[in-house]
Chains A and B, each alone.
Chain A
Amino acid sequence: MTYRTLLAASAVLATSALSWPAAAYTVFVSNEKDNTLSIIDGTRNEVIETIAVGKRPRGITLSKDFKTLYICASDSDTVQVMDVATRKILHNLPSGEDPEQFALSPDDRHLYVSNEDDNIVTVVDTVTREVVAQYDTGIEPEGMAVSHDGRWAVNTSETTNMVHWIDTTQGVMIDNTLVGQRPRHAEFTKDDAFLWVSAEIGGTVSVIDVPTRKTVHEIKFSVKGVQPDQVQPVGIKFDKENAYAFVALGPANHVAVVDMKTYEVQETLLVGRRVWHMDITPDGAWAYASNGVSGDISVIDVADRKVVKSIKVGRYPWGVAIAP
């Protein structure tokens, strides 16, 4: 459905409560400078609840069964565990100091947490709630990702400019791949063939071949009317079909759509100011992007590649996670 017909549809349905055609889902947004979580009802695209969480919440991620939400409360030095159904904080996990981003193993058992101020990745057992391992990284570990097959856990260190590869079968860090300046985010493609890593200050996304751990392609971006050094890739998400990548370009205020086969940047979509991270709805239809400086969320129609709405949330929205 295009935006135009959608608008027409909502006009017709103005008296009814239903004004959004998507399936029911819930969008969680962490507000870094408000110490809150905004909860958006995906059928109405409105904030329905704002709940208090720990200090400086940044990375958030859902368990595979969507029952549990993990929240990095950076300045509280903890990871909070929230029950999605009741929206209550169940307990805290030991996370190491200043947790910023994290990733869950495919079985939801281990949480890999980057401890930005300590140059460490902490591995937490989500069941026993104990720290089971720590790995030394470069300076300011930030991006975390675990491959879908569970073999690799990777971390990007922002000042060292490397991807650190942890082989989870051996429990050792076995390799490092040098990437562009200030790597922010890492994302495995759905087939685990490639790892995409964004370099915020380098202005590029490195596509790394997972078996060889070598960079095979570097994607550059340009946005009309924006100085090249303001094009700063941060968040990366792949669509459901593993065909197109969405890359948030920070202060360029655009999200790029990249063909994952040709690496061609097909479009750049105007969103809010300093766009950081994104998540895509489980049905693959909508992408939600957090705009740090403008304090809102942009809703993107994935198929039509149109920004259809912006939703005001708290101050400095950072992470986005979507539950059905």
Chain B
Amino acid sequence: MPAALKHCIVALLLVLMPATTWAASDIRLAYLSMTVDRPPVLSNLDVWPEDEGLQGARLGMADNAATGRFLKQTFTLDEVVLPEDGDAADAMAELAAAGHRFVIADLPAAALEAAVAAAPPDMLVFNAGAPDDHLRGAACRANLLHTLPNRAMLADALGQYLVKKRWTKWFLVIGPRPEDAAYADAIRRTAQRFGAKIVAEKTWDGDFDLRRSAATEVPLFTQGPSYDVLVVADEIGDFGEYLPYQTWDARPVVGTQGLTPTGWHRTVEQWGAAQLQNRFQELAGRTMTARDYAAWAAARAVGEAATRTQAGDMAAYIQSPAFELAGFKGRALSFRSWDGQLRQPIGLAAARNLVTQAPVDGFLHPVNEMDTLGFDKPETACKREGS
């Protein structure tokens, strides 16, 4: 801010007269998360932010409050961060007893399932931390919505772009952890869905330190098959960072490293996203991640409902066809009625550039192109709608 302006502001007339037609109300949300012990990884360049997710929820509440003051609405966030061995079900029951009806749950899948089981039916839980597909399928719940994209959505976003580029022969490299296997499952599903072929599949079980030996290990590991892209499933970022530029053939690396599908990334700047990134940076002192975005979107969904219903039946409104959320991704976001997943564009990001955003042009859908990503209505395993 120019110095001259600072002087001016002292003498400024700050005027605000809120409209008087609204009844005052306080809307309470809770943020529930759990400390997760992250295993050591080979690629230890990035420090994982301890407040990931939480800062997104805080920003969403700040955004809600800024709108709320014109409507005499205030917003309160109760933050509960459990220790690693904490009991999410107990915590949820306590939140319910304290009168909470909207909870942003930033939990691993197992803890989330326990927590939702302990939540009363009139409590709406937003999953902002677990990408697991089964939570949108057989394990779905009537009072559980998901703002974090699931693995099937991410894989479909990546798959659409690869198919559009005609890079349809995939070499799949899978890490040793269960979540890597789940990511690989999603990739396989996508390949089948969009007509790509997995021409080779290998499990990474190296126990050597790749920082010293990537140059010798990776060429040998990737030698042999004829493929277009190397798709890596390494969710914790253990070895995947060492694959690019080391493959036997000159092939791009995509998946959990390289070109990565994600719900949010610091390279997203169109559609007003630059403003959201700025606000987040100012609040948290770091860049916004996909988990932060998911928590932000959950808080904003409640805020939007409070605005539109004048703090009426917000849970019903959020799940109604009238609901839409401007989420800085160029399309109106809303929840799929069949599994509670937030339909949203997925960015395909490299380290410093956003390559594209899915749904990719040409992948058509009779109702909403965003439903080409993840589980569409005809294929859902969720009985949420009861049909």
Contact B1 A97 (CB under 8 A): yes
B204 touches A (CB below 8 Å):
no
Contact A117 B279 (CB under 8 A): yes
B19 touches A (CB below 8 Å):
yes
Between B4, B14, B19, the greatest number of chain A beta carbons within 10 A of the residue's beta carbon is seen for: B19
Contact B332 A251 (CB under 8 A): no
Among A34-42, A132-140, A262-270, the stretch that binds chain B is: A132-140
Contact B275 A134 (CB under 8 A): no
Nearest A-chain residue to B345, judged by Cβ? A229
Residues of A within 8 A of B4 (CB): 94
Contact B70 A172 (CB under 8 A): no
A230 CA to B16 CA in the complex, in Å? 35
Known contacts: A181-B324, A201-B331, A203-B332. The answer to whether A229 contacts B368 by CB under 8 A is yes
Known contacts: A162-B70, A181-B332, A229-B369. The answer to whether A201 contacts B324 by CB under 8 A is yes
A178 touches B (CB below 8 Å):
yes
Residues of B within 8 A of A134 (CB): 9, 12-14
A260 touches B (CB below 8 Å):
no
Among A4-12, A153-161, A307-315, the stretch that binds chain B is: A153-161
A282 CA to B355 CA in the complex, in Å? 42
Nearest A-chain residue to B329, judged by Cβ? A201
Contact B13 A138 (CB under 8 A): no
A77 touches B (CB below 8 Å):
yes
A232 CA to B71 CA in the complex, in Å? 27
Contact B272 A173 (CB under 8 A): no
For the complex, would chain B's binding face be called helix, strand, loop or mixed by DSSP majority?
mixed
Residues of B within 8 A of A251 (CB): 330
Between A138, A164, A251, the greatest number of chain B beta carbons within 10 A of the residue's beta carbon is seen for: A138
Size of chain B's interface in residues, with CB distance under 8 A?
35
Contact A138 B332 (CB under 8 A): no
Contact A135 B19 (CB under 8 A): no
Contact B67 A160 (CB under 8 A): yes
Between B1, B5, B18, B330, the greatest number of chain A beta carbons within 10 A of the residue's beta carbon is seen for: B5
A212 touches B (CB below 8 Å):
no
Residues of B within 8 A of A164 (CB): 70
Q: Give the shortest distance, in Å, between B234 (CB) and chain A (any CB).
A: 34
Contact A202 B332 (CB under 8 A): yes
Contact A173 B369 (CB under 8 A): no
A175 touches B (CB below 8 Å):
yes
A130 touches B (CB below 8 Å):
yes
Interface string of A128-152 (1 = CB under 8 A from B): 0011111110111000000000000
A176 touches B (CB below 8 Å):
yes
A295 touches B (CB below 8 Å):
no
Contact B332 A201 (CB under 8 A): yes
Contact B1 A77 (CB under 8 A): yes
A176 CA to B13 CA in the complex, in Å? 19
Residues of A within 8 A of B23 (CB): none
A181 CA to B17 CA in the complex, in Å? 23
Contact A229 B63 (CB under 8 A): no
Known contacts: A94-B8, A202-B332. The answer to whether A174 contacts B67 by CB under 8 A is no
Contact B332 A158 (CB under 8 A): no
Nearest B-chain residue to A183, judged by Cβ? B326
The answer, among B1, B17, B275, B370, for a CB contact under 8 Å with A172, is B17
A254 touches B (CB below 8 Å):
no
Contact B67 A133 (CB under 8 A): no
Nearest B-chain residue to A228, judged by Cβ? B368
Q: Can you show 9 pairs from A to B with CB atoms below 8 A apart? A: A77-B2, A94-B2, A117-B279, A132-B13, A134-B9, A159-B66, A162-B70, A201-B326, A229-B332
